[in-house]
Chains A and B, each alone.
Chain A
Amino acid sequence: MIPAPFEYARPTTVDEALQAIAAGGEDVKVLAGGQSLIPVMRLRLAAPETVVDLGRVTELRGVREDGDALVIGAMTTHSDVLADPLIGRYAPLIAEATATVADRQVRHRGTFGGALVHADPAGDLPAVALALDAEFVIAGTGGRRTVPAREFSVDYLTTAVGEEELLVEVRVPKLDGQWGMRYEKFNRVAQAWSIVAVAAAVRRENGHIAEARIGLTNMGPTPLRAGAVEAALAGAEATPEAIAAAAAHAAEGTEPSSDLNAQADYRQHLATVLTRRAVTAAAGL
């Protein structure tokens, strides 16, 4: 289908982009990779007055190290994320989840930051960012601010990025050494969104789980941390039994939707199974 008419701006710097957003009128949409925005515009679910295309803002692309953190530019494509050696070393969970995003064509255009700001509850990266305690650097005309992952997701398709702001980069703490990670995604066909998925990062010490960070995908309007599971795992023995007992808490406090793919009770069941599997794999069992 054909999108409704819209104005189009193509800035080359972050400052220009912010100006274009400010000047774009009532309803501005930022185009990153276009893999969700273009379809919703073609379906006329969204009919923005202005589209600000970040495709030429090269400063937003790429991955770099900054002390204890990886800094991932918002416009880094999924395929660039997958190929990046720093991510492979310090945040393999991101690579593992990114590899499950849609198909190869989508991954070549879709971007890391775009997926996070789109905030699709069935999208894979928000829960990963949450599990990794990422920080979101948001630029506005008044300067930059940093938002922790727990505050970034606000509601269904809604983040802390304000109307005249832009996500510019995501800072992810480097995790290596004794950290193990796993993204367990459950869907029906290869290129589909997650019905439920679980991102787990686990640090082992002396046969015990010292710390676990677990993010849940599509268990509510925003990604969630499985806090009860994390608490149960902290200091627990790294055994299948202990992990299973902890994982049984995965659905606590969740309010997943019921749709064609799954009713809420089944999603909650899946969350426990997938959490057990993700933690087991992350713990190296």
Chain B
Amino acid sequence: MTAVEDRTGAPSPEIGKARKRKEDARLITGRTTWTDNMVLPGMLHLAVVRSPVAHARITNVDVTAAADAPGVVAVFTGADLAEEQGSLPCAWPVTPDMVNPGHPSIAVDRVNHVGEAVAVIVARSKAAAQDAVELVDVDYDGLPVVLDMEEAVEGGADLVHDHLESNTSYHFVFDAGEMGTGSDTEQAFADADVVVSRRLIQQRLIPAFMEPRSVVVQPQGDNYTMWSATQIPHILRVMAAMVTGIPEHKLRVVAPDVGGGFGGKLQVNPEEILCLLIARRLGKPVKWTETRSESLMTAHHGRDQIQYVDIAADREGNVKGLRVRLLADMGAYLRLITPGVPALGAFMYPGIYKFPAYRFECDGVFTNKVPTDAYRGAGRPEATFAIERIMDELAVELGMDPMELRRKNWINADEFPFTTVAGLAYDSGDYETATQQALELLGYDELRAEQQRRRESGDRVQLGIGISTFTEMCGLAPSRVLGSLSFGAGGWEHAAIRMLPTGKVEVVTGSTPHGQGHETAWSQLVADSLGVPFEDIEVLHGDTAISSRGLDTYGSRSLVVGGSAVVKAADKVIAKARKIAAHLLEASEDDLEFSGGRFSVRGTPGAGLGIQEIALAIFAAHDYPEGVEPSIDAEATFDPENFSFPHGTHLCAMEVDTETGFVKIRKYACVDDVGTIVNPLIVEGQVHGGLAQGIAQALYEEAVYDADGNLTTGTFVDYLVPSAADLPHFDTGNTVHTAPGNPIGAKGVGEAGCIASTPAVVNAALDAVRHLGVTDIRMPLTPERVWRAIHAGGDGGDRATAGSNAYGGAQTETTAGGGARSSVSNASSLGGDR
């Protein structure tokens, strides 16, 4: 508190205060309504029988034994539900001629990836349902398995969907020359002094949210209530109504507290539709909760692209053109925004640089794997990785310092707003200042000196420094822009504020949190706008019966779009309250000042009325002006006119043990500009979590399929998610250039760390060993890959696909679903454990 504030007695502003999150106690202790905690009278439990094979015709499904098992109420096959299941929706047809094969919630006559549902057990207990899974006998007639994208797009390749002409779903092109946002790309390359080309691989990742997916459906007459661990209750309601034919007004969707998503719960899941269909059939409430094995195997995956990147420049290091061609793995089907993820990235490949020419092409490719879809960053991490990696490669080619090359080509602070070659209007920022701060945080010069010493002495541990200067498009999104990209919905957000008689405030948001801290941040916004205590505010969300309009949480949009709607609604509350206050104070509206939650009359000391008092007065409604409704509640819908563009400089110092290939982050520093910071603690937390996830892509995580299409990283033993013990201390900082496009000035922070960090980490490892002849190492940088790249050349190559033998080879079982049992007991005298 400053002396000034003490003197006036006014509370310090909430915006900018590092408040601890008010929702955390219940989230952390689990004493809350996680969907799987729901128990309804008469509730039945579902278990899903899943395909153990990647591609096959189903020739027979025998459910007799399962149907007769104790506690089993019903067993449904694809044939049973074929007439009513429709197709899971794909809301983003990125080209007019995009091929969508349709996506059944349960396979009818063929399976296209391991883990696809082939039957559903309904039983009186979860245990009974699970026991019956192994009693379903399915006959499969195997088909050729399509796994490799580069092979899949060749003429004569085996087909994932044999009723289609090819494995290509779409061919999306953005050409700056044709769009008028840049010059001719082919000419730029023809004229260039230097061209550097690379083939980069974005490995397949698994969102790996903490709370497994879970669905409860309760039928009541012709009404249905669905609770789901989803990021998108509002979108899910519309989509589920369209798929099942249940009228939208008869379907209520509730996302209670949801434990993480990272895009993985931005989906209309097969099991959500199956729960609705089965609840409708049986007239009983049903629940499905996935196991972790099911989650890893069947919840949508992320990334999985092959990037062919060409960059053109002159000898002085001025970039002249960028050409990107992608193969993007769709998996076996198109889910909600599967095709849009790589296409969204199209606009971010030019990064922060002033390219005169740019062309982007992307093929969406079907394979016999689980579909890909949104994963933290969704298109932008891939783009940022490609541009930040190729800038380093160009620097090497030119013999330039990689930071100097960036500086030479980035947009200067005095050039904002700046329209890029991809047609985006970057709003605000200062790359130089953020970079300077990051260099100081890292201790760049000292580490460079140490790197030199280690190189000269031939130290077994080499040191490298990696740079990533990034921006991203956030605050998804301007509805008109989404329309121009053929996205199936808008990007607005809705909020309502209810002033309760006792002066307490309910804020209803359409932006549904799944761990981000909306309740705290929105309370801070409203506390400042209305001048009411933080503690007097409750934030309601996630229930379509309470929050009737909304577009939910993804794409770093909540504060930028949803928070702005809250602020706009608060403005309307104040405007309505002003009329009441003027009436009660017998003053002109123009003479009223609103400050600290109180209307006062200019020039009349002592005359005033608090907004919380007005809430009571208007509840009684005994005395209010003519021609005005007796309410100061208000709602607002905010649709931004532009994206917001957070940016930052991320620096990673990496130690590489050249004997073993083990990489260890020595230091990580980043300075992010996310615009106005409402809660520094939440921003810091988002950056930390994002860094963890981005570093995880660089070093740890990879979804690996074997030659038969089995996911061999089927448990957390083999799909490595790092913990705090594996990550370094993060030195973080901020610059603040407010976003001009929204009333808060916020730019979004949910994805920044995840987008920026991956190339910084890989560039650092390469910088450490480039003098040993290494030019690329494929992600994740397993010790084996790093060792092979150093000692045998290449990018480290493929990993062996067999799961590790921990737990007796658990991955074999998890991908085999209810199929072949391989009991440890047959092979050993396992007598105890650790």
B277 to chain A, nearest CB (A): 24
Q: A45-B824, A189-B722, A260-B799 are in contact. Are A115 and B806 (CB under 8 A)?
A: no
B727 to chain A, nearest CB (A): 10
Contact with B along A1-12 (1 / 0, CB 8 A): 110110000000
Q: A1-B293, A159-B829, A189-B722 are in contact. Are A258 and B800 (CB under 8 A)?
A: yes
Q: A44-B821, A102-B834, A189-B720 are in contact. List 12 more A-B contacts (CB 8 A).
A: A5-B131, A27-B825, A36-B834, A43-B293, A110-B834, A117-B833, A158-B827, A189-B725, A259-B804, A260-B804, A262-B784, A263-B800
Q: Is B713's CB under 8 angstroms from A111's CB?
A: no
Ranked nearest first, the 5 interchain pairs of A and B with the lowest CB-CB distance are: A115-B834, A36-B833, A157-B828, A190-B725, A117-B832
Q: Is residue B156 within 8 Å, beta carbon to beta carbon, of the partner chain? A: no
**Which of A85-93, A118-126, A143-151, A228-236 sits within the interface?**
A118-126
B136 to chain A, nearest CB (A): 14
**Which of A65-73, A169-177, A204-212, A266-274 sits within the interface?**
A266-274
Specify the chain A residue showing the minimal Cβ separation from B780: A188
A167 is contacted by which of B130, B704, B799, B832 (Cβ under 8 Å)? B832
Specify the chain B residue showing the minimal Cβ separation from A101: B834
Q: Is A46's CB under 8 angstroms from B830's CB?
A: yes
* A-side contacts of B799, CB under 8 Å: 260, 263
B831 is contacted by which of A43, A123, A159 (Cβ under 8 Å)? A159
Specify the chain B residue showing the minimal Cβ separation from A270: B660
Q: Is residue A24 within 8 Å, beta carbon to beta carbon, of the partner chain? A: no
* A-side contacts of B704, CB under 8 Å: 260
Q: Is B804's CB under 8 angstroms from A29's CB?
A: no
* Residue of A35, A38, A193 ringed by the most chain B CB atoms within 10 A: A193
**Contact-residue bracket for chain B:** 35 or more
- Interface positions, chain A 99-145, Cβ under 8 Å from B, are 101-102, 106, 110-111, 113-123, 125
* B-side contacts of A14, CB under 8 Å: none
A150 to chain B, nearest CB (A): 18
Q: Is A190's CB under 8 angstroms from B726's CB?
A: yes
Q: A1-B291, A192-B720, A266-B787 are in contact. Are A33 and B834 (CB under 8 A)?
A: yes
* B-side contacts of A111, CB under 8 Å: 832, 834
* A-side contacts of B800, CB under 8 Å: 258-260, 262-263
Please report the C-alpha to C-alpha distance between residue A259 and residue B717 in the assembled complex, in whole angstroms. Answer: 12
Q: Is residue A202 within 8 Å, beta carbon to beta carbon, of the partner chain? A: no
| A-B CB contact pairs (8 Å), 5 listed | A2-B130, A45-B807, A47-B825, A117-B832, A117-B833
Q: A5-B131, A193-B806 are in contact. Are A29 and B825 (CB under 8 A)?
A: yes
B834 is contacted by which of A46, A78, A261, A266 (Cβ under 8 Å)? A78
Please report the C-alpha to C-alpha distance between residue A186 and residue B806 in the assembled complex, in whole angstroms. Answer: 15
A174 to chain B, nearest CB (A): 24
A11 to chain B, nearest CB (A): 14
Q: Is A30's CB under 8 angstroms from B804's CB?
A: no
Please report the C-alpha to C-alpha distance between residue A116 and residue B825 in the assembled complex, in whole angstroms. Answer: 16
Q: Is residue B223 within 8 Å, beta carbon to beta carbon, of the partner chain? A: no
Q: A43-B293, A157-B828 are in contact. Are A118 and B130 (CB under 8 A)?
A: no
Q: Is B832's CB under 8 angstroms from A259's CB?
A: no
Q: Is residue B662 within 8 Å, beta carbon to beta carbon, of the partner chain? A: yes
* B-side contacts of A115, CB under 8 Å: 832-834
- Interface positions, chain B 797-828, Cβ under 8 Å from A, are 799-810, 813-814, 821-825, 827-828
A43 is contacted by which of B134, B725, B807 (Cβ under 8 Å)? B807
A45 to chain B, nearest CB (A): 5
Q: A46-B824, A158-B827 are in contact. Are A122 and B805 (CB under 8 A)?
A: yes
List B residues at the A interface (Cβ < 8 Å). Answer: 126-127, 130-131, 134, 291, 293, 659-660, 662, 700, 704, 712-713, 715, 717-718, 720, 722-723, 725-726, 782-784, 787-788, 799-810, 813-814, 821-825, 827-834
B833 is contacted by which of A5, A35, A122, A186 (Cβ under 8 Å)? A35
Q: Is A161's CB under 8 angstroms from B831's CB?
A: yes
Q: Is residue A252 within 8 Å, beta carbon to beta carbon, of the partner chain? A: no
* B-side contacts of A125, CB under 8 Å: 834
Please report the C-alpha to C-alpha distance between residue A121 and residue B830 in the assembled complex, in whole angstroms. Answer: 13
* A-side contacts of B788, CB under 8 Å: 266
A267 to chain B, nearest CB (A): 9
Q: Is residue A40 within 8 Å, beta carbon to beta carbon, of the partner chain? A: yes
* B-side contacts of A38, CB under 8 Å: 833
Q: Is residue A39 within 8 Å, beta carbon to beta carbon, of the partner chain? A: yes
- A: number of interface residues (CB 8 Å): 73
* A-side contacts of B829, CB under 8 Å: 158-159, 161-163
Q: Is A261's CB under 8 angstroms from B784's CB?
A: yes
Q: Is A45's CB under 8 angstroms from B782's CB?
A: no
A191 is contacted by which of B134, B723, B802 (Cβ under 8 Å)? B723
Specify the chain A residue showing the minimal Cβ separation from B128: A2
Contact with B along A187-223 (1 / 0, CB 8 A): 0111111010000000000000000000000000000
Q: Is residue A74 within 8 Å, beta carbon to beta carbon, of the partner chain? A: yes
Please report the C-alpha to C-alpha distance between residue A115 and residue B788 in the assembled complex, in whole angstroms. Answer: 33
Please report the C-alpha to C-alpha distance between residue A38 and residue B831 in the assembled complex, in whole angstroms. Answer: 13
Please report the C-alpha to C-alpha distance between residue A43 and residue B814 in the assembled complex, in whole angstroms. Answer: 7
A263 is contacted by which of B784, B809, B813, B814 (Cβ under 8 Å)? B784
* A-side contacts of B662, CB under 8 Å: 186
* A-side contacts of B660, CB under 8 Å: 186, 270, 273
Q: Is A44's CB under 8 angstroms from B813's CB?
A: yes
Q: Is residue A166 within 8 Å, beta carbon to beta carbon, of the partner chain? A: yes
A39 is contacted by which of B783, B810, B821, B831 (Cβ under 8 Å)? B810
* A-side contacts of B659, CB under 8 Å: 273
Q: Is B804's CB under 8 angstroms from A48's CB?
A: no
Q: Is residue A19 within 8 Å, beta carbon to beta carbon, of the partner chain? A: no
Please report the C-alpha to C-alpha distance between residue A48 and residue B823 in the assembled complex, in whole angstroms. Answer: 9
Please report the C-alpha to C-alpha distance between residue A38 and residue B824 in the assembled complex, in whole angstroms. Answer: 13
A188 is contacted by which of B291, B782, B827 (Cβ under 8 Å)? B782
A182 to chain B, nearest CB (A): 16
B458 to chain A, nearest CB (A): 15
B254 to chain A, nearest CB (A): 26
Q: Is residue A165 within 8 Å, beta carbon to beta carbon, of the partner chain? A: yes
A97 to chain B, nearest CB (A): 12
Q: Is residue A155 within 8 Å, beta carbon to beta carbon, of the partner chain? A: yes
* B-side contacts of A1, CB under 8 Å: 130, 291, 293
Q: Is A258's CB under 8 angstroms from B810's CB?
A: no
Contact with B along A232-272 (1 / 0, CB 8 A): 00000000000000000000000001111111001001100
Please report the C-alpha to C-alpha distance between residue A257 and residue B806 in the assembled complex, in whole angstroms. Answer: 12
Specify the chain A residue showing the minimal Cβ separation from B804: A259
* Residue of B726, B804, B821 ringed by the most chain A CB atoms within 10 A: B804
B16 to chain A, nearest CB (A): 36
B657 to chain A, nearest CB (A): 9
Q: Is B830's CB under 8 angstroms from A157's CB?
A: yes
* B-side contacts of A35, CB under 8 Å: 833-834
Specify the chain A residue showing the minimal Cβ separation from B704: A260
Q: A188-B783, A262-B784 are in contact. Are A122 and B828 (CB under 8 A)?
A: no
* B-side contacts of A167, CB under 8 Å: 831-832
A129 to chain B, nearest CB (A): 13
A159 to chain B, nearest CB (A): 7
A108 to chain B, nearest CB (A): 12
Q: Is A114's CB under 8 angstroms from B784's CB?
A: no
* B-side contacts of A270, CB under 8 Å: 660
* A-side contacts of B806, CB under 8 Å: 120, 122, 193
Q: Is residue A32 within 8 Å, beta carbon to beta carbon, of the partner chain? A: yes
Q: Is B823's CB under 8 angstroms from A46's CB?
A: yes
* A-side contacts of B808, CB under 8 Å: 40, 45-46, 120, 157
B807 is contacted by which of A36, A47, A117, A162 (Cβ under 8 Å)? A36
Q: Is A260's CB under 8 angstroms from B712's CB?
A: yes
Q: Is residue A22 within 8 Å, beta carbon to beta carbon, of the partner chain? A: no
Q: A32-B834, A162-B829, A166-B831 are in contact. Are A260 and B127 (CB under 8 A)?
A: no
* B-side contacts of A4, CB under 8 Å: 131
B658 to chain A, nearest CB (A): 10
Please report the C-alpha to C-alpha distance between residue A162 and residue B830 in the assembled complex, in whole angstroms. Answer: 9
B655 to chain A, nearest CB (A): 15
Please report the C-alpha to C-alpha distance between residue A93 and residue B810 in the assembled complex, in whole angstroms. Answer: 29
